[in-house]
Structure 1
Amino acid sequence: MSKNNIWYLAGPFHRYTEDVKSLAKERGLRIVDANATAGREDAAKDVPDVTVRPELNISGVDSSGAVHSAHGDLAAVQALVDSLADGQLVKPESGETANRLFGLLTNIHSGVQGLRDQLESETEKSRALQHQVDDLLAQAAQARLAGDQGEAKEVADLKAKLDAANVTYRANASKESLQKQVDELSKA
């Protein structure tokens, strides 16, 4: 790095009409914020001329009136935010921004309320369907129990027939094998 290559320039750098970073790069300079440093050692002698952007002026409006209007609008927005924090959305008395914000918040509230209603409806449907599922499961369990009891009665009847005919059978014989033995008795 050569000596005297520092360009002391008051920041922020976006306030200049020129692109100060590219100007510095073209000339091999390093920019240092003049507001942040007290000394000016190694300051470059040949630095580009730059201009500060003009302040934003609202044409035809007194700047104090614009500031007063902005403060009123800000106060209306603050009142709207405070009412929302208290749990109620109160329409502001004045302020274009506050009224637009009120409209947006009202639309959001309506959308959320619609979603809440839809959620309640779907929850009720879910409860009804769960009740139907529980009823069907209970009916299936009763049908299984009745089927098991019916089969046990048939097995007991088959065993009684075989006992009456003094035919031996396995104690854990299946219904089909017992039925086969009873059918053989009928043939004999």
Structure 2
Amino acid sequence: MSKKIWYLPGPFHQYRENVKELAKEYGLRIVDANVTEDREGEAVDVPEVTLRQAAPVPVLVIDGQGGVDDAALQELIDKLNAERDSVVLLIEAAEGLAPLEHPGAGELPIRLFDALTSIHEGIASLKSKRDELLGEVESLRAEVVRLTPAPQSNGSALDDLTVVQIKEQLDAKGVGYKVNDSKPELLALLKAHQ
């Protein structure tokens, strides 16, 4: 087997370098060293990588010794439970299951509330703009209909006129006709004087 495997402990996002690009550049295949003990085909010439510096996360250690203030610990637990409950309410509001209300306290719930409020305002603004544009579209459509010339009459609209309507139009144009003329005769006179 060729020695083209780079056994590198994962997760790969913990490295400053783009290890996938490096592996491609060196012609290597990456295998997570944490998931196999086998090192068959391990490459000797592998790129140097460095770990990212992660910010330390504060950790509360309870060792059962008498040095922990039970009241302070209970207060911290109560505060965390209240924040959790506020976050749950905000999630329910985002899902449409409850109204969006300010949580009152807690850094994370207030930040989440502010983010949800911004999103809500953005959506409301988009809806308003959409409605405005729809009104504009309807106005433009009406203007297009108004400006579009009517189709030229090929006589079919005249054919739908009654004898009385034809006589009224002939009278308006000052065209003479016989009282006992038939509809086709009257229509021929009207078409001739269009």
Q: Which band: TM-score by shorter chain?
A: 0.3 to 0.5
Name which one, 1 or 2, has greater alpha-carbon Rg: 1
TM-score, length-scaled by structure 1: 0.48
TM-score, length-scaled by structure 2: 0.46
Larger helix share, 1 or 2: 1
